[in-house]
C-alpha cells in the first residue's frame, strides 16, 4: 500500500514568497528553503521584513489569489491520485494553501498555521510538528504504508531519504549535485513514470 508524499511549492505551484516578493517589490523575500535550510530562521526573518514594511496576511493572500498551479500540475495530480493515495506535505500555512488546494482539486494537505493579530499582522507561526515532512513519512510507515516522496528543496530531503523511493523534482543544480543518489526529474511525465514503476514492483 503506497502513499505518495509531495512538496507543494516548486513542485505543484510556484513559490508563494517569490510571487509576493515580486508583487510587493521586496526582493529579499525571494529567499526560500532552496537557499536557507533552517526553516525556523527563514520564517522569523520573513516576518521581520513584513513588520518593517507594514505588510500582513491580507496582502499575501491577494497575491496568492492570482497564483495558478504550474502547467500540467493538476492533471499530474489527478492521474497520480487514481493510482495511489497522495498527501501534500508542505511547510506552508493553511491560510496560504486553502485557495491553491481548490485550484488543484482539493487534494489532502498537511501543513502549518500562522498566528495572525486582529489587524492582519502575522505575529508568529505554529509548526505542526518538528521536521514535519520526515516525521509524517515515518508516521505513515508506522501504520503500514510504503511511502514515495518528491520535492525540490533542502526541507524535502528528509522525507525523500526515508521513503522507499524518493525523487527530486525541478530542484537546484547544487542539491542535485550534492544528492546524486536521488533521480532528478524536470517534467511531470518523467516523475509519474518513475512513481508508476515503483508501484508496479
The catalytic residues are 7, 9
In angstroms, what CA-CA distances link 84 with 107, 158, 167, 192?
Answer: 12, 21, 16, 12
Task: Retrieve residue 129's grid coordinates.
Answer: 510538528
HEC states along 111-154? EEEEEECCCCCEEEEECCCCCHHHHHHHHHHHCCCEEEEEECCH
In contact, 56 and 50? CB cutoff 8 Å: yes
Cα distance between residue 114 and residue 108, in whole Å: 19
- Are β-strands 165-169 and 184-185 bridged in parallel, bridged antiparallel, or unpaired? parallel
CB atoms within 10 A of CB 113: 13
Degrees to nearest 5, angle at CA 87 with 23 and 2: 150
In whole angstroms, what is the distance from residue 39 CA to residue 196 CA? 31
Amino acid at each position: 500500500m503506497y502513499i505518495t508524499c509531495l512538496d507543494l511549492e516548486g513542485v505543484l505551484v510556484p513559490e508563494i514568497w517569490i510571487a509576493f516578493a515580486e508583487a510587493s517589490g521586496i526582493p529579499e523575500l525571494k529567499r526560500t528553503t532552496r537557499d536557507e535550510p533552517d526553516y525556523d530562521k527563514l520564517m522569523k526573518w520573513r516576518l521581520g521584513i513584513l513588520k518593517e514594511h507594514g505588510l500582513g496576511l491580507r496582502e499575501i493572500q491577494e497575491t496568492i489569489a492570482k497564483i495558478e498551479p504550474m502547467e500540467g500540475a493538476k492533471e499530474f495530480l489527478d492521474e497520480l491520485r487514481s493510482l495511489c493515495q497522495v498527501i501534500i506535505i508542505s511547510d506552508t500555512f493553511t491560510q496560504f494553501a486553502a485557495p491553491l488546494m481548490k485550484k488543484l482539486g482539493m487534494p489532502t494537505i498537511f501543513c502549518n498555521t500562522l498566528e495572525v493579530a486582529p489587524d492582519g499582522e502575522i505575529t508568529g507561526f505554529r509548526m505542526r510538528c518538528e521536521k514535519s515532512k520526515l516525521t509524517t513519512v515515518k508516521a505513515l510507515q508506522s501504520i503500514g504504508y510504503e511511502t514515495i516522496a518528491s520535492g525540490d528543496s533542502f526541507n524535502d530531503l528528509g522525507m525523500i531519504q526515508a521513503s522507499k523511493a524518493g525523487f527530486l523534482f525541478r530542484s537546484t543544480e547544487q542539491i542535485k549535485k550534492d544528492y546524486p543518489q536521488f533521480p532528478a526529474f524536470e517534467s511531470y511525465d518523467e516523475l509519474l513514470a518513475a512513481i508508476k514503476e515503483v508501484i508496479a514492483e
